[in-house]
Amino acid sequence: MKTLEAILEQCRTSPPNILDTLLAVQGTFNYVPSSALPEIARALKATEADVVGVLTYYPELRTHPPGRHLIRVCTGESCVANHCGRLTEALAEELRIGMGATTPDGRFTLEKVYCVGNCAVGPSVMIDEDVHGRVAPGDIGALLASYK
């Protein structure tokens, strides 16, 4: 696994690209540790406020480690038209967590994503790298059980 220093060395460009750097850090550590923010700012010759601004703007960037399995509910137009809101509610209820949270056992993290590219069979849920289409609220228990 790369170190933060190695990532920052690769990401030094002119002008600095804060987003690319944060994505590289998250790609290695699965999230962007708050303890890394001052070092990222120094390496990019940016202010810490600039780095935090980018970090908090993009919902794809995480500031806490995700669970072992990442569940992403598609909220693209097709999935919205196919009632992904009901699916989101069912997942939150089954997992007993809110959107953006991780279960207490660290098994699942629940997130929204704009599109998973499965529009023809919405609503869709992506668990880790697996895309599931036409997911109904009643399917949630069995679907999650396959990841336990």
Regarding whether 139 and 74 lie in a shared domain, the answer is yes
Q: By CB neighbour count within 10 A (0-12 exposed, 13-18 middle, 19+ buried), where does 95 fall? A: buried
Instruction: Give strand pairing partners of 108.
Output: 69
Regarding whether 41 and 20 lie in a shared domain, the answer is yes
| Domain membership of residue 39 as a residue range | 4-57
pLDDT at 5: 85
Regarding whether 93 and 124 lie in a shared domain, the answer is yes
Q: H or E segment at 70?
A: strand 69-74
Q: How far apart are CA 125 and CA 25, in angstroms?
A: 25
- Residue 73 domain flag: yes
Regarding whether 102 and 37 lie in a shared domain, the answer is no
pLDDT at 13: 67
What parts of the chain have a pLDDT lower than 50? none
Tell the residue number behind the tokens 């069912």, with chain if given. 90
Domain holding 119: CATH number? 3.40.30.10
pLDDT tens-place string over residues 106-145: 999 999 999 999 999 999 999 999 999 999 999 999 999 9
Regarding whether 83 and 115 lie in a shared domain, the answer is yes
* CB distance 60 to 115 below 8 Å: no
pTM: 0.81
Regarding whether 87 and 28 lie in a shared domain, the answer is no
